[in-house]
Amino acid sequence: MAGAVVPVGVPLRPRNMYRRDPVFSVTETASRLMRTTIVAACISGGLLFISGCLRAQQRPAVVELFTSEGCSSCPPAEAYVGELAQRPDVLALSFHVDYWDDLGWRDRFDIPEATPRQRRYAQALRLSSVYTPQIVVDGYEDLVGSDRRKIGRSLSTPRTSIPVSIAVNEDTVIVDLATAVGGPQGDVVLVAYQQSAISSIGRGENSGRTLTEYHIVRAVRHLGYYNGDAKQYATYIGSLPKDTTHVAVLVQLPGQGRVVAASSHALR
């Protein structure tokens, strides 16, 4: 099988080659044990803030797969994402990149936001290249997309989150972020995705195969910046791609950093 490895900062022309694994406040009467337990829970979930820690909610781990229909190493990773998509503690998203498109098969699900997003991760994580299939967990951990053992280990820890909720009111998606004084701040991103699709591949490395793809990202939008104050955002559903079935909301530290909040909701 062949994946794609593209050095960061050079034109995106994938080469067929194997890739090595990259390397609150508590009342005065509360007991010391209670304080220690609460702070430990906040740290383990990736959120260390005092005011509002008690109100932090559990969130799914965010798994971003960078893939392409033209990559023969990608179907096993996509099948695994399909399994992860069934888990309530995982928010799986498949970003189809475009740098395989000139090698015999144009991926019908590639979007202009996917490759730049992957390149920003490569720079932030100090990787020498972008590649497929790549998985990024919670915006900070780089893993080969088919490495079930390492990915499974990464997903074993519960996550806590800034309180975020999504509702669908007729033709509008409403996103609410609660107040979290002293908590992390970051960019609020809406991700529109399609639950699943089946594609028959006519050319390229996967020629003749029928691929089942899951949680296919169709659009990415920046809603605003969360500074700890309560925020509400509204998005007209008609402005999203017609094949969108679900939306996800992520809050990431500035510069497309670590994920500190995540939630998803079906549109229908």
Q: Read off the pLDDT of residues 112-141 as tens digits, 9 standing for 90 and up.
A: 999 999 999 999 999 999 999 999 999 999
Report the candidate in 206, 103, 84 with the shortest Cα–Cα distance to residue 146: 84
Which one-letter DSSP state was computed for residue 238?
A: G
Record the pTM. Answer: 0.82
Residue 3 pLDDT = 66
Instruction: Look at residue 192 and tell me whether its pLDDT is greater than 70.
Output: yes
- CA nearest 212: which of 196, 231, 191, 235? 196
The answer to whether 62 touches 259, Cβ cutoff 8 Å, is yes
Q: What's the chain's Rg over C-alpha atoms?
A: 19
The pLDDT tens digits for 154-175 are: 999 999 989 999 999 999 999 9
Nearest to 42 by CA among 231, 180, 167, 241: 180
